[in-house]
């Protein structure tokens, strides 16, 4: 009897059913609006408070500047002329110092640091400027940024004041794909994400130019002027590109001096190879008899870079080029062991890839 009553009730009240549906619809839209609004507020709040507390950071820096404790090329604009303002300030860990390898050209490095430290360009480094530069050098991303920016791989250092520094803005990032807000990541299907990535990705010649930048970064940090480095996290989020489609390494913490990597591996105990991992993408093998990690990396930077570029470059590649490009990328991904032990093969694959890409973009206006 109750079942018949319910059926009759719904049949006789279609308008009530429509009203309920409208209520549910508006309730869902309201919930979605609150969710997105809360996320926007959270991002704005965290950028302002958790990362640096902008006004407090500026007040502390300017107080030290006016007392003559620190100085730098950005101090006047930040504290006196008010021509600089902090839209976003990223905190750092001051106890992460970089250790350069034995091949480092220390004389050249010192000259470069002194040139940057002379903020007012008067030919000498004052005590306040020296204090500021020393504070900056305690941050690994600043030192590595200085080492790599001569070749244009990192955002240019525009100025500093104390341990606060400014770099050029990298307008596009990550390297590929669309960075979705974290509440939407689990809601958007993978197929839809891939389609959206295609909409927001540059044209193929421009992707080729960006990829050339990554290959040149790999080339320059392989036994470079300041020693050898390993890229231990090749995630797209750590790279961006400029309006001229020039690659920039936006998170230098992904790059580790090889000497530091070897030292860390030697001190690491292990049971299996899975225990011998540094960062995300750097791994060695386990010496089971001694229960210690070996110090030789299993995969060179180039193989990791090619793995990152494979889908990025093959998607939308010209049909006449696709087969050869795919062959070279897979040969590159197959590289094993320390690049120092296979200079010839490493250099051959790198040069072949660069030549193949350059042939495609040398005639374009973005080259």
Whole-number pLDDT of residue 359? 87
Domain ranges of the chain: 61-85+103-167, 182-363
pLDDT mean over 231-245: 91
pLDDT mean over 101-127: 78
Between the alpha carbon of residue 142 and those of residues 84, 135, 146, 165, the distances in Å are 20, 10, 6, 9
Q: How far apart are CA 296 and CA 338, in angstroms?
A: 6
Distance of CA 364 to the CA centre of its chain: 27
**How confident is the model over 287-312, as pLDDT tens digits?**
999 999 999 999 999 999 999 999 88
Whole-number pLDDT of residue 51? 45
DSSP state of 311: H
pLDDT mean over 263-279: 93
**How confident is the model over 310-363, as pLDDT tens digits?**
988 998 889 889 999 999 999 999 998 765 555 678 889 999 999 999 988 877
Q: How far apart are CA 313 and CA 317, in angstroms?
A: 6
Of 252, 214, 254, 247, the closest CA to residue 232 belongs to: 254
- For every residue of 59-90, DSSP letters joined together read HHHHHHHHTTS---TTHIIIIIS-----S---
Contact 154, 145 (CB under 8 A): yes
Of 265, 229, 40, the closest CA to residue 151 belongs to: 229
**pLDDT bucket at 216, cuts 50 / 70 / 90:** very high
Average pLDDT, the chain: 78
Residue 278 has pLDDT above 90, yes or no: yes
DSSP H helix total and E strand total for the chain: 14, 10
Q: How far apart are CA 333 and CA 348, in angstroms?
A: 14
Residue 81 has pLDDT above 70, yes or no: yes
Whole-number pLDDT of residue 103? 47
Q: Which residue has the higher pLDDT, 275 or 226?
A: 275
Residue 7 has pLDDT above 70, yes or no: no
Of 279, 287, 285, 235, the closest CA to residue 257 belongs to: 279
pLDDT mean over 121-144: 87
Of 46, 33, 49, 24, the closest CA to residue 183 belongs to: 33
Contacts of 50 (CB under 8 A, 6+ apart): none
Whole-number pLDDT of residue 4? 38
Peptide bond preceding 174 in cis form (omega within 30 of 0): yes
Contact 317, 353 (CB under 8 A): no
Give the CA-trace dihedral at 101, 98, 210, 279, to 10 degrees. 100
Whole-number pLDDT of residue 98? 46
Whole-number pLDDT of residue 222? 78
Q: Pairing state of beta strands 277-278 and 286-287?
A: unpaired
Contact 135, 162 (CB under 8 A): yes
Whole-number pLDDT of residue 187? 65
Percent of the chain with pLDDT over 90: 31
Q: In degrees rounded to 5, what are phi and psi of residue 256?
A: -130, 135
Contact 234, 307 (CB under 8 A): yes
Report the half-sphere exposure of 322 (CA within 13 A, side-chain side): 10
pLDDT mean over 195-219: 85
Q: Which residue has the higher pLDDT, 53 or 260?
A: 260
Residue owning tokens 């990025």: 312
* pTM of this structure: 0.74
Whole-number pLDDT of residue 215? 94
**pLDDT bucket at 25, cuts 50 / 70 / 90:** low
pLDDT mean over 246-252: 91
Residue 106 has pLDDT above 50, yes or no: yes
Between the alpha carbon of residue 1 and those of residues 7, 10, 16, the distances in Å are 10, 15, 22
Of 339, 259, 264, the closest CA to residue 306 belongs to: 339
Peptide bond preceding 13 in cis form (omega within 30 of 0): no
Q: How far apart are CA 80 and CA 76, in angstroms?
A: 5
CATH number of 182-363: 1.10.510
State the chain's maximal CA–CA distance in angstroms: 98
Determine which helix (DSSP H) or strand (DSSP E) holds 248, and give its type and residue range. strand 247-249
């Amino acid at each position: 009897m109750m079942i018949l009553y319910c059926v009759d009730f719904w049949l006789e009240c279609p308008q009530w059913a429509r009203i309920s549906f409208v209520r549910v619809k508006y309730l869902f839209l309201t919930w979605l609006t609150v969710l997105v609004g809360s996320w926007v507020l959270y991002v704005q709040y965290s950028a302002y408070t958790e990362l640096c507390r902008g006004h407090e950071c500026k007040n502390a820096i300017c107080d030290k500047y006016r007392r003559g404790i620190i100085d730098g090329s950005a101090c006047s604009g930040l504290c006196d002329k008010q021509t600089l303002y902090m839209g976003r300030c990223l905190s750092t860990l001051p106890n992460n110092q970089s250790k350069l390898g034995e091949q480092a050209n220390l004389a050249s490095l010192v000259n470069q640091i002194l040139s940057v430290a002379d903020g007012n360009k008067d030919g000498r480094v004052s005590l306040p400027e020296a204090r500021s530069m020393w504070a900056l050098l305690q941050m690994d991303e600043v030192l590595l940024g200085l080492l790599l920016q001569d070749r244009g791989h990192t955002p240019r250092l525009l100025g500093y004041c104390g341990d606060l520094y400014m770099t050029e803005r990298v307008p596009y990032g990550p390297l590929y794909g669309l960075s979705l807000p974290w509440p939407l990541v689990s809601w958007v299907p993978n197929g839809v994400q891939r389609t959206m990535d295609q909409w927001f990705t540059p044209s193929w010649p421009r992707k080729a130019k960006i990829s050339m930048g990554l290959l040149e970064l790999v080339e320059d940090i392989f036994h470079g002027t300041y020693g050898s480095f390993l890229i231990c996290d090749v995630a797209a989020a750590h790279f961006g590109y400029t309006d001229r489609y020039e690659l920039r390494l936006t998170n230098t913490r992904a790059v580790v001096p090889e000497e530091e990597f070897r030292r860390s591996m030697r001190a690491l105990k292990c049971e299996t190879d899975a225990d011998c991992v540094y960062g995300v993408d750097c791994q060695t093998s386990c010496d089971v008899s001694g229960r210690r990690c070996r110090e030789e990396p299993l995969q060179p930077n180039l193989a990791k870079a090619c793995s990152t570029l494979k889908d990025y470059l093959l998607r939308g590649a010209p049909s006449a080029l696709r087969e050869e490009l795919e062959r070279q990328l897979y040969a590159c991904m197959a590289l094993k062991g320390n690049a120092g032990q296979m200079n010839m093969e490493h250099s051959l694959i790198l040069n072949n890839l660069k030549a193949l890409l350059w042939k495609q973009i040398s005639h374009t206006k973005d080259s």
